[in-house]
Structure 1
């Protein structure tokens, strides 16, 4: 009888334990802050250049070989581990702020793990956290060989202030040479499996590679750091460093570029494809759908985004037509685009320095009104700088954040291939996007926010980062800098450019469009020059899906602002709305919408 009672008691306790295990989370072994810190250390280790950009010196001597098989296996293991760790927490155990950060981390790990499971895609690029195609690791824009050359100049994010810095860079370049070897191996595997670049992109890459072969030593970008030594180094140290850099360029770097050039020219180019879109590759359709999810943080498909793009192009065209009529132009919109491209009054410069001075003047005008829209402003400064010559022909304007400690200011890079043909029609909108209150504001505030875990300080979600910057362009009238219809038309042109991206990116990669059709569509609907449109279309060919993020993010932020204005009426505060958008770091759109909806409810109460 006693044994029976004990048996019954055991069964009751055992079943109770089973019920608890179903209902409760496992016992937490460490604070969520420790998981955040561990995740950020992992992110820096797999993106060492991003760590350098953020001001962390631990990884200044290395580059991740992010297309290697070992690297990809490491990603699978670690993303799985972190998802398991996050599964131990729920909203009742941590603060609402930490829970939001946890959900951002969970989204990041989930979508990146999905990416590394895809046989074509590797999603941890050391540059901008964009997807990199394992079998197509080099292309003509946003590619590691270009970013390394930018670092080599000595005026980018790679530090050159001490002997250790100079030695770190040579060590980092040794890793880069290994990456180039792996790239050739992977591209050969791509040649065997039909996963190769469009021929037109390879042709654009060849002069980039050759520019580091047929160049005198003192003009070589990789030699520039030894021509601009910092104060404090002895003559002996400078002589040793100079000798080491010269030997590296002559004995290692130049031969590697010669090998790469020979491979690209003689083996790779002849088998490159004549098609342009991702759907033409094995697993291309599924890969593109994944990239849509990665870059938009939505579950929309290519057809839905294509239709949204067509709708936005039609809406913006109507507004453009109104501004054209206000200016007094009698022709149709397409002929107006052509007149803008060639209007001498919009090309007032003769020297690149004048372009930079003009942007600085825009900055001074914005400063007079910025407090009317923002409570939150960053401490960090920034500089406007001309894009380096070696990448200027294929580059777009861009912003590179400063270091977290403020020792290095942010940089707004402006390509000026020909100052005399530089057109100013977009400049006000471009400054709002790249600098204030666009990327410089958002990314600097994100870095400076001590309430966020550090893994949320870098650039992160492109749909948020680029969506905010495009939304910032619309603030020009409120900031008092769209003072004539040409400047406002420039803003509409910038928005049109991003709306067109929804059409042509999906057209190229999901609907069978050719490069030529995408170029023609763009020329018909925007005022960009044919040269810049060609560069843009080829960018979309190289980085499928990334260009969707701008418009998708902007539309969501504008939608949330309109909802808040209608819901709160006279109680709506634009400064507080902008603070709510900017004070939680980069969020997936679903989490941003949830946050703003909750804020609206609280304001109503």
Structure 2
């Protein structure tokens, strides 16, 4: 998981950082610039894992599996800030000009990411973010049940793993009071969440509390023990887990739920955009820049969105005419979002549909990629307790050693609203060759420093996912005009995001206005439009990254094709984009320009 994703989901951390000690002067003098750089990377990464044990577990590193860390505390933020400042000081002491080309890329990425992290850790920025510790889209209340379910990153191999799970549960329970304290701090300063997001959180908590402890995700690990757990230990562990769920976790959920319902909701803001929040304009401009990794303004992004929406509408209109639909485009969109022929009959049919798509894509991937991930890809349905507010599809990375697969999650909530003509594009984005390729190939590349293997930025990650959708023709997808329309529709609502996200947070659009714009300009269902708009409300700026990143990668590919002509190799281009991890877009552009120059010179 990326640093930004972890911070948004949990802000989980460990104790104060143990900063790397400099080597003796004689040893330092003997090191080359490249060796010093990679030592800095290793020591920074090791210190970060100690501070962020959840991140370590997602990488298959269980040394700190007995802890969650002090998420959201002043000590956590201070430790992260101190570590970042120390890392930058050490980086400045290394001569960039003495590095080889690959290490210069690593230097630039490390510098960019560290400086970017520091901006978010400044007190004036934390005053706008830390006091809103969760909402219905990101938060430990929905992250942790999956994490602890036995179907995610938390290990359940032996008795020690189960004991560590109980230790983490106790820390999880304690964290609820810290979250409530942060919310109260926001009430005092006037920086508060929206009524909409808080109502959704209350609904999520109610859903979890309605399930008996034995049917909760937390009980999953003790419902099925691995063989390595002796029979004599199982009854004790099962009872211990039942008690902590019933007597600890559930009461903590109720405390948070009652606080939000009785104290916070009456004082939450009605306006859904950051434009209505104290300090929201400054925060949103920061979020635009951090999510796109480019110096863009909300106004610029809005105009790009309008242009892309118009382009997609023209292509959608062409398909309407091709299939002989007699009504206009809005009527065609309504037909596609409501006609039963475009809905799966049941959940089994949807699952089998995704399996079939995966098999077809696998047959063609070698034509476009010189390196395929070793980590296998698994297809799963979103769990019932979180499906109502979950996105249409998502990806969870596996471990570099292949012990845990990458997972493509699809959402079957309100099944009649889930259109089958969008399935191929969704799989290309979230599965292969989208997030599964981008994340797994970086994770598996041991030649990269850890921060490039496991870190990244949303513009690259989501830009690649959306770019992967444009490979439909080369992968033999969307030969059916309705599936092609589904691909256009998927691209369209990423273009719409540029308009709607900026509309909500910079221009004061209402929730209803944003939903209406989505329905008028795409074939998404009302359920999907509502979920998407409420997502943009919950995580401002993140939705901008998809289209901006895709457009940059497409621009670079077109530049390379034009410059290299017959010498252009799509497999080599994809390797250049993918094999150094998730680069900030400006760094990626420099890399591709250097590659083009070297190929022309060769």
Give TM-score, length-normalised by structure 2.
0.92
- Aligned counterpart, 2:132: 136
SS at match of 1:213: helix
| C-alpha distance in 1 between matches for 2:438 and 2:34 | 35
- Aligned counterpart, 2:151: 155
- Aligned counterpart, 2:277: 281
CA pair 528-121 structure 1, distance change in 2 beyond 3 A: farther
On the 8 A contact 2:316/2:488 being kept in 1, the answer is yes
Instruction: Give the one of 188, 192, 196 matched to 2:192.
Output: 196
Aligned-residue offset at 1:511: 1.2
Instruction: Give the one of 141, 162, 167 matched to 1:166.
Output: 162
Aligned runs of 1:5-154 on 2, under 5 Å? 31-121=36-126, 133-154=129-150
Stretch moving more, 46-55 or 501-510: 46-55
| C-alpha distance in 2 between matches for 1:555 and 1:88 | 36
Stretch moving more, 234-243 or 393-402: 234-243
1:332 aligns with 2:328: yes
Instruction: Give the one of 573, 576, 581 matched to 2:577.
Output: 581
Aligned-residue offset at 1:366: 1.3
Stretch moving more, 462-471 or 201-210: 201-210
Aligned-residue offset at 1:522: 0.9
1:181 aligns with 2:186: no
On the 8 A contact 1:518/1:537 being kept in 2, the answer is yes
Stretch moving more, 97-106 or 59-68: 59-68
Unaligned runs of 5+ in 1: 1-25, 123-131
Unaligned runs of 5+ in 2: 1-30
Aligned-residue offset at 1:281: 1.6
SS at match of 1:182: helix
On the 8 A contact 1:151/1:157 being kept in 2, the answer is yes
- Aligned counterpart, 2:24: none
| C-alpha distance in 2 between matches for 1:121 and 1:109 | 16
- Aligned counterpart, 1:241: 237
- Aligned counterpart, 2:359: 364
| C-alpha distance in 1 between matches for 2:138 and 2:268 | 20
| C-alpha distance in 2 between matches for 1:103 and 1:412 | 31
* Residues 52-101 of structure 1, C-alpha deviations (whole Å, 9 max, x = no match): 11111123222233321111111221111111111011233222212211
| C-alpha distance in 2 between matches for 1:430 and 1:27 | 46
CA pair 348-281 structure 1, distance change in 2 beyond 3 A: closer
1:373 aligns with 2:373: no
On the 8 A contact 2:34/2:100 being kept in 1, the answer is no
On the 8 A contact 1:459/1:465 being kept in 2, the answer is no
On the 8 A contact 1:118/1:287 being kept in 2, the answer is no
Aligned-residue offset at 1:373: 1.2
| C-alpha distance in 1 between matches for 2:52 and 2:337 | 40
| C-alpha distance in 1 between matches for 2:52 and 2:497 | 28
SS at match of 1:58: coil
Aligned-residue offset at 1:569: 1.1
Instruction: Give the one of 342, 348, 353 matched to 2:344.
Output: 348
* Residues 504-547 of structure 1, C-alpha deviations (whole Å, 9 max, x = no match): 11111111111111111111111111111111111111111111
Task: Give 1 or 2 for the bigger CA radius of gyration.
Answer: 1
SS at match of 2:314: helix
1:321 aligns with 2:326: no
- Aligned counterpart, 1:395: 390
SS at match of 2:124: coil
| C-alpha distance in 2 between matches for 1:158 and 1:547 | 28
Aligned-residue offset at 1:408: 0.7
On the 8 A contact 1:120/1:135 being kept in 2, the answer is no
Give TM-score, length-normalised by structure 1.
0.91
SS at match of 1:425: helix
| C-alpha distance in 1 between matches for 2:46 and 2:140 | 22
| C-alpha distance in 2 between matches for 1:534 and 1:61 | 39
Q: CA RMSD in A?
A: 1.7
* Residues 123-179 of structure 1, C-alpha deviations (whole Å, 9 max, x = no match): xxxxxxxxx921111210122211101112211221211111111112122222232
Aligned-residue offset at 1:555: 0.3
| C-alpha distance in 2 between matches for 1:149 and 1:197 | 23
Aligned-residue offset at 1:560: 0.5
